[in-house]
Structure 1
Amino acid sequence: MSEHATATAAYLAGFTTLDNEVRDAALPVEGEIPGWLQGSLTRNGPARFEAGERGFRHWFDGQAMLHRFAVAGGAVTYTNRFLRTDSFRQTEQGRIGFGEFATDPCQSLFARMFTRFKLTPNSSVNVVPMDDGFVAIGETPIAVRFDPDTLETAGVAGYTDHLDGPITTAHPHQHPGSGDLVNYVLRFGRRSRYQIYRQRDMERRLVASVPTARPGYLHSFAITGRYAVLVVFPLVVNPLALLLPGRPFIENYRWRPELGTRFVLVDLDSGATDTLTTDEPMFAFHHINAFHDGEKIVVDLCAYPDSSVIDATYLDRLRDPRDPVPVARPTRYVLDPAGRTVTGRRLTDETMELPRINYGTRNGADYRYAYGVGNRDQRGDDFLNQLVKLDVHTGVTSVWRQPGCYPGEPVFVPAPDPSAEDDGVLLSVVLDGARQRSFLLVLDAGSFTELARAEAPHAIPFGFHGMFRHD
């Protein structure tokens, strides 16, 4: 086997089902964790990729598992639990009972038509605080409550309003002023609508309803102190296609580069909207940040030239060592509503995905540092194999890497009474391909050097997003 194939095969544990669940397992720690770091990192992501003899088709379709790394007094304990939803229970019976992102249920034609209108509760993308508790969320508007200490599933959270629609984002924002959660629900129809809302407790208050003939696939959006910014890429769907059986959700979307890219500004107080358009087609899963620069609006995101990354993240392709994954690069777009222009430039040639910032103080505001995962060779043929820190003011980057290791999203935790924007630590769950184990990595965010690591009792499948909760 070639050196390349060996390295690539090392990360396949990240796309392999994990059935082992443990509770409060004490982890061996190498190095020294800062004494002020007290709390827990909770991560969400897929961990079961089969139902009986049938496999899910896409990385995004795997069944959700929560992972908790509790840190206290320099020690770390680890707990992991499947999110026990109706979708998960169907897999225990050897069935795929809900339509997922790229997998249709294994049912008769009539049953498949019926289940197209059932929203999957497989909330496998993110975890957020909501209504004095914590919920797991995905791209359907179903929030699943869980106990933050035991990770036991506590049922679906019910909204007290009448907003409806089958699609949302798994990246709600906290309004920089009020703290309200901000998100949208997409309602399909002859004239589809992005319904942008602000949420307190479990009530979602409609801010604006933005009509669209061809809805785009939006995994996330950006927010400033004034606006929600929806970037509508030219990966769009004819809503009528969703009524026809035979194709899973995302395979109804089509790449239409001639449409360019639309930036929709929604005033979060008045509901007024404005749209600026660029002829440049692009695609992104994740926004980094957005803020006002005088009368202009700056939007930073991890941009791909097209949507081929979705096809590249089907499981059969991810598991093929010969098939590289397209890479994203941090890109800045400056919107000038007065001049009706959109201008873009790369912030660096380094690759970056799963971006995070010092969210507590820099969300929706001018900022300097972004953190994410990237590719050492910038080709994507050894998956995501390094952590990246980007100074968006200078374009200077720092990296952390270790041969055969594959890090996940770096979560920034600020130090008490921080002296700088990057005064704190980064927490990332890293797969060690050689040991076939994962570990919690603690980096100094300022120097980007390793402080400590704590090894889990097994390999943890590659997840998506998480949060740190202070004790």
Structure 2
Amino acid sequence: MDILDPTKPQADTGAVPEHQAAFNSLKAEVDLPALEIEGAFPQWLDGALFRNGPGLFEAGDDLLRHQFDGPAMFHRFGFHNGQVSYLNRFCRSPMYTHIEKHHSLGHFTFGTPVSSQVLQRLLDEAIHGEVPSVNPSVAFIDIGGHFYATTDSSTLPVRLDPETLGTLKPLIWDDALQTHDCAGNAVNQWRMRATTGHWHRHPRDGSAINYFIQHAHGEFGESYNFFRVPKGSVTREPIASIPTDQSAFIHAFCVTERYIILPESPLRVDAARYGSGGSVASSVYWRNGTPMYLHIIDIDEKRLVRTIEVRPSYVMHTVNAYEDGDEIVLDMAVYDDGNHVWELGLDPALRPPGGMFAEARAPELRSHAKPYRYRLNPQTGAVTETLIAEVCVELPTVDYAQRNGLPYGRFYATGIDQRPTSRFYNQLSSFDLTTGDYRTYGVDKHYLGEPVFVPRPGRTTEADGVLLSVGLDGTAGHSYLLALEPATLQPIAKALVPHAVPSGFHGYFVGGRA
């Protein structure tokens, strides 16, 4: 049964949502050496915050249907001596180049259908072309000493210049996994594989860990294939292959020192629907009667240890995981169903029925993920599920460099307040997992993106640093970079951007670059 029934009418207040400015295309590329500042950024804050996400929400006359669809735009906030610079650039991808030249989409996306002729051309290029089209609009990762932008729809990270944001080239892997899956089977389909933009660093050795979905091929069925890239290398090494009867729409997983935990939800992808719908969204559906499976993989033994079933639910983003004796502690932002994926639709017909803004080309988020803690025993299969707090959380982050995969006491998130008319991320949260306390911050008609924690050099506590978030003043129609005290969420400073920064996804802080 599909989640969406677009034939049902939607309620419409006739109002334009205040977060609409975050979903207007930004066509200008600017280089601003010094932004106007309110308050004072810490003098010790030195480096750059990179942000990733779509820059356009239409392609000429083609209106894009979903937030996932637009060509990638990179943003760079530089910090030095209390000053903040700003630079933004489009990724010079084949998608962006086609839009600029032909004023039409011409490329495969998550939610915007393409014609059967375009679909056939794209499939032919994917199967026979040398370098598939990549739109790296999700996140960033350092691989082999170089800076890359990543996406879910391609296994190829795209290298960029961190100083100029200039697009260099995709990383074409030159290893055995281009022609084989992680079980050693010969399945040369690397151009057709999906993955996640959320790579992970192993907390012990710093290797980069990710997976790709190997679609059914000949005698081999569909599978999730986990691999690692040793620090300083660009060669993937297989960890394990996990078979599945039908791959789920997965955006994140977790690692600990010993384990990988993959949440496989009932939100499934039926590849047979691609051709008729012309987009990934046409193939995604909620499979009733299916639990969420938590697959636990031993990294060193390179095998699936156990699969544990929990209630049917959906996870867009995980928080963190670590080992506690014989148990795994797994924290995730959990939805009751998969509606959130469609609520991110720009086209009102794509969003679930019953919304407030039936004519607005902006997401309308009515599903609220809550932070849950799972305790898993890989040996016995025992599991407990506990609600951490009655707060909506999304895009959760931790002190990643020091705490990913390890015991931790604090995380941060954006979210939606409890007013029934709130429809987009309008508050930040800071959680103390030791005491169970949490703080929230929000300003009416302001919208706040993913918070990124930057530690203070020489810090002595987990929350000693600064929290950075890109916000939008919905009344004024322009954005700003906000700095807050992590534990209390007390605002410290703002750097004003003279335009609305399109609502994006993930950030990445690199120290030592101004």
TM-score, scaled relative to structure 1: 0.94
Amino acid at match of 1:197: F
Partner of 1:292: 323
For residues 385-404 of structure 1, the aligned pairs below 5 Å read 385-404=426-445
Aligned partner of residue 314 in structure 2, secondary structure: coil
> Within 1, Cα distance between the matches of 2:85 and 2:404?
30
Query: 2:208 is matched with which residue?
Result: 181
Distance 1:116 1:348 in 2: 45
- Offset at residue 380 of structure 1 (A): 6.9
- Which residue identity is paired with 1:295? D
1:120 Cα offset (Å): 4.3
Q: In the TM superposition, what is the alpha-carbon distance from 1:437 to its structure 2 partner?
A: 0.9
Tell me, yes or no, if structure 1 residue 24 matches structure 2 residue 41. no
1:245-394 paired onto structure 2 within 5 Å: 245-317=276-348, 321=357, 323-377=364-418, 379=420, 381-394=422-435
Q: Which one-letter code corresponds to 1:421 in the other structure?
A: E
The answer for the alignment partner of 1:158 in structure 2 is 172
Whether contact under 8 Å (1:351, 1:378) holds in the other structure is: no
Deviations 1:96-117 (A, max 9, x none): 1221111233x3x244134246
- After superposition, residues 30-49 of structure 1 pair within 5 angstroms as 30-49=38-57
What is the CA-CA distance between 1:146 and the residue it aligns to?
0.9
Matched-pair contact (CA < 8 Å) for 1:326–1:380? no
1:411 paired residue number: 452
Which residue number corresponds to residue 162 of structure 2? Answer: 148
| Structure 2 counterpart of 1:131 | 144
Taking the TM superposition and a 5 Å limit, the aligned residue runs for 1:197-216 are: 197-200=227-230, 201-216=233-248
Cα distance in 2 for partners of 1:9, 1:50 equals 19
Offset, 1:434: 1.5
> Equivalent residues in 2 for 1:75-94 (5 A)?
75-92=83-100, 93-94=102-103
Confirm or deny: 8 A CA contact 2:277 2:283 kept in the other structure: no
Deviations 1:4-60 (A, max 9, x none): 976x62210111100111013420111111111011101000110111111111011
1:227 aligned partner: 259
Cα distance in 1 for partners of 2:429, 2:119 equals 43
1:224-245 per-residue CA deviation (whole Å, 9 max, x = no partner) reads 0011111100112344444x34
The sequence identity of aligned pairs, in percent, is 34
Task: Tell me the CA shift for residue 466 of structure 1.
Answer: 1.1
Distance, in Å, in 1 between the alignment partners of 2:419 and 2:71 is 30
**336-345 vs 423-432, which moves further:** 336-345
Change (3 A) 1:63 1:320: farther
TM, length-normalised to structure 2 = 0.87
The residue correspondences of 1:235-246 to structure 2 (distance < 5 A) are: 235-242=267-274, 244-246=275-277
Contact 2:296/2:378 (8 A) holds in 1: no
CA distance in 1, matches of 2:407, 2:505: 25
Aligned counterparts of 2:89 and 2:356: Cα–Cα separation in 1 = 28
Report if the CA contact (8 A) 1:260-1:277 is conserved: no
Count residues in correspondence.
464
The one of 249, 252, 276 equivalent to 1:217 is 249
Q: Structure 1 residues 204, 324: closer, same or farther in 2, change over 3 A? A: closer
CA distance in 2, matches of 1:362, 1:455: 31
Higher relative contact order (CA 8 A, sep 6+): 2
Q: 2:105 corresponds to which residue?
A: 96
- 1:15 paired to 2:56: no
Whose strand fraction is larger, Structure 1's or Structure 2's? 1
Distance change >3 Å, CA 240–CA 54, structure 1 → 2: closer
| Amino acid across the alignment from 2:149 | A
Residue 144 (structure 1) shift: 1.1
Secondary structure of the equivalent of 1:59?
A: coil
Report the RMSD for the aligned CA atoms in angstroms.
Answer: 1.9
Tell me which amino acid in the other structure corresponds to 1:296.
E
Compare 273-282 and 174-183 and name the one that shifted more.
273-282
Aligned to 2:226: 196
Given that 2:332 and 2:372 are in contact with CA atoms closer than 8 Å, whether structure 1 keeps it comes out as: yes
CA deviation vs aligned residue, 1:380-432 (integer Å, no higher than 9, x gap): 73310011111223332101111111011000000111111111100100011
Task: Classify the secondary structure of the residue corresponding to 1:348.
Answer: coil
* Corresponding residue of 1:422: 463
CA distances 1:111-150 after superposition (whole Å, capped 9, x unpaired) = 4134246354111011121221211111021211111111
Q: How far 1:269 sits from its partner (Å)?
A: 1.3
Contact kept in structure 2, 1:158 and 1:202, CA below 8 Å: no
